[in-house]
Amino acid sequence: MKIVVINGSPKGNKLSFTMQYIYYAQKMFPHVEFNSINIGQKLNNMKIKEETFQEILKEMISADGILWCFPVYVFLVPAQLKKFIELLFENNAGEALKGKFSGVLSTSMNFFDNTAFDYMHAIIEDLNMKYTGFFSNNSFDFDKIERRKTFYTFIKNILFAIENQLPTPRRFNTLNIRKNFVFTPSEVLDEHKLDSNGKKIIIITENYNEKSNLGKMIRKFKSSFKNEIDVYNIDSIDIKGGCISCLTCGYDNQCIYNDGYPDFIRNKLRNNDIIVYALTLKDRYFSSRYKLFLDRAFFNGHTPIIEGVQMCYLLSGSLSQIENLRQIIMALSEIGGGNLVEIITDEFGESEEINDLIYNMAKKALEFSNSGYIQTPTFNSVGGYKIFRDMIYGLPGVLFQADYRFYKKRKMFDFPKNKLIYRIMRLIFKSKKARGLFKKKMFKIFFRPYNKFFKKLDVEQEIREFGI
Ligand SMILES: Cc1cc2nc3c(=O)[nH]c(=O)nc-3n(C[C@H](O)[C@H](O)[C@H](O)COP(=O)(O)O)c2cc1C
């Protein structure tokens, strides 16, 4: 039996944590041929020769099963692997790969590994292949026998499914893309144009046709303001290659690449009040170029890089059918420290409605920026930063010293304490009588401070203190 391993790690076959599982599988299943293809490195500059791509595709077609093996990069697969997936679609590979069994294997810090798996699950089905599950492990957990046992079973299940040609349930519908809708932007009357009042606003986009819906949505947003809004095209930023996870940046946030990207982030992306991403959806995400743009931001470490910024999205595509992508957008804004104002797409409504939505988003972003409104944290950042905190405090913090300094300065090493009072209370609460007594008074105790607060509340004083 032959399994083709699509290795998306930009570190290649030898230095990849994820690939260690393949070497393990080779030892545990010696009758199976695991043929690894080093996609992450081959596509580091996001290009691949046509004949090399065709050879890889041929190899995939000849396999009994495919294992997608990659590190999680910024909630998804690395940009290099994303590019390869785009090439598969461009080459109609779904026809030749139809019915092939496919599993997903990844290592990470378990920070949004779930969104990466969700993406790959959908992609496998879009390529008409049979999804046989995922295996996710923390980069440093290979030494745990129970994890290796799970991995062993994961591979065994894939092999069993192939041998017995088992049916697999389908989870995702094919994307139903709105066709023939042409958005017509309306003009904004001079007296309704918004004054940015010194707020810095930029639009980040990719090559787009001015006559496309996205182009016209950008035009509408820009024309909502009296002031000129800068538009940056990520295709014209000098990006020499994808993040190779060399971790050089960990010490002082200096990227090993000598190209225009770090400068763009420091001088153009940072220090804005409102950032608009204007993008077109590609397969179940955005383009690999945009992914490259995000991956390379890794040189900033695990710190919020859009703190206090109002984030707006103008999207062309079927976002409502890709809930995973919406989750990613929401989490990215939140973890970055920004506030997601709105996501406007061209998938619903007529031009009039979309025009109103875009204008209102611009207005809302200005108001939020003026009042410093930032949505309260949810599981995304509360949970996410706990993972980062533990990681930076531990062994990886030796490499990520810039993060360590940042977390220390911001008092982010906020581990819970096992206070003496809690320990005493736990002892007391071992008694059924004590638990019963507490239960009777529990809500009174919990709400005592609220009651006190409401008695004293002076509404006008409160609003004055908000400073809005
Ligand atoms: C650019 C970049 C982005 C990353 N993004 C994530 C992430 O979103 N979530 C996560 O848990 N780990 C993330 N990681 C950590 C890697 O997933 C992890 O180190 C992985 O084990 C590396 O696997 P490899 O050695 O096979 O390349 C990121 C690492 C890099 C370099």
Instruction: Tell whether the model's pLDDT for residue 208 goes beyond 90.
Output: no
Does 169 fall in a domain? no
Does 259 fall in a domain? yes
Q: What's residue 137's pLDDT? A: 96
136 pocket-lining for ligand 1 (C-beta < 6 Å): no
Closest ligand 1 atom to Cα of 244 = 31
- pLDDT tens for residues 66-83? 999 999 999 999 999 999
Q: pLDDT grade, residue 348 (50/70/90)?
A: very high
d(CA 307, CA 385): 14
113 pocket-lining for ligand 1 (C-beta < 6 Å): yes
Looking at the fold, whether 126 and 267 belong to one and the same domain comes out as: no
Does 33 fall in a domain? yes
Instruction: Tell whether the model's pLDDT for residue 346 goes beyond 90.
Output: yes
Instruction: Tell whether the model's pLDDT for residue 93 goes beyond 90.
Output: yes
- pLDDT tens for residues 284-331? 999 999 999 999 999 999 999 999 999 999 999 999 999 999 999 999
Q: Calculate mean pLDDT across residues 225-251.
A: 96
CA separation (Å) from 257 to 253, 262, 316, 327?
Answer: 12, 9, 32, 30
295 pocket-lining for ligand 1 (C-beta < 6 Å): yes
Q: What's residue 284's pLDDT? A: 98
Tell me which residue has its CA closest to atom 6 in ligand 1: 73
Does 171 fall in a domain? no
- The domain in which residue 385 lies consists of 379-409
Looking at the fold, whether 125 and 38 belong to one and the same domain comes out as: yes
Looking at the fold, whether 301 and 348 belong to one and the same domain comes out as: yes
Number of independent structural domains in the chain: 4
Q: Where are the beta strands (DSSP E) in 365-435?
A: none
Closest ligand 1 atom to Cα of 7 = 26
Q: Which helix (H) or strand (E) holds 132?
A: strand 130-138
Does 185 fall in a domain? no
Tell me which residue has its CA closest to atom 18 in ligand 1: 108
CATH of the domain at 200: 3.40.50.360
Q: Which helix (H) or strand (E) holds 311?
A: strand 310-316
Does 136 fall in a domain? yes
* Residue of 279, 374, 286 whose CA lies nearest to 328: 286
ipTM for the assembly: 1.00
Looking at the fold, whether 350 and 457 belong to one and the same domain comes out as: no
Does 173 fall in a domain? no
Q: pLDDT grade, residue 39 (50/70/90)?
A: very high
**C-beta atoms surrounding 175 within 10 Å:** 14
CB-based contacts of 50, cutoff 8 Å, min separation 6: none
Report the chain's mean pLDDT, rounded to a whole number: 97
Q: What's residue 134's pLDDT? A: 98
Distance 195 CA to ligand 1 centre (A): 42
Looking at the fold, whether 152 and 61 belong to one and the same domain comes out as: yes
Instruction: Tell whether the model's pLDDT for residue 207 goes beyond 90.
Output: no
- pLDDT tens for residues 410-422? 999 999 999 999 9
21 pocket-lining for ligand 1 (C-beta < 6 Å): no
298 pocket-lining for ligand 1 (C-beta < 6 Å): yes
Looking at the fold, whether 384 and 365 belong to one and the same domain comes out as: no
Looking at the fold, whether 9 and 140 belong to one and the same domain comes out as: yes
Handedness of CA 382, 387, 393, 399 (dihedral sign): negative
Looking at the fold, whether 100 and 226 belong to one and the same domain comes out as: no
Instruction: Tell whether the model's pLDDT for residue 347 goes beyond 90.
Output: yes
Region label for 459, one of left (φ > 0), alpha (ψ between -120 and 50) or beta (otherwise): alpha
Q: What's residue 467's pLDDT? A: 85
Long-range contacts at 394-399 (CB < 8 A, ≥ 24 apart)? 395/140, 399/247, 399/250, 399/251
Ligand 1 probe mutation, 20, 72, 248, most atoms within 8 A of CB: 72
82 pocket-lining for ligand 1 (C-beta < 6 Å): no
Instruction: Tell whether the model's pLDDT for residue 468 goes beyond 90.
Output: no
Looking at the fold, whether 365 and 388 belong to one and the same domain comes out as: no
Q: Is 18 helix (H, G, I), strand (E, B) or coil?
A: coil
293 pocket-lining for ligand 1 (C-beta < 6 Å): no
Q: pLDDT grade, residue 49 (50/70/90)?
A: very high
Residue with tokens 């950008």: 218
Q: Where are the beta strands (DSSP E) in 155-195?
A: none
Does 181 fall in a domain? no
Tell me which residue has its CA closest to atom 16 in ligand 1: 108
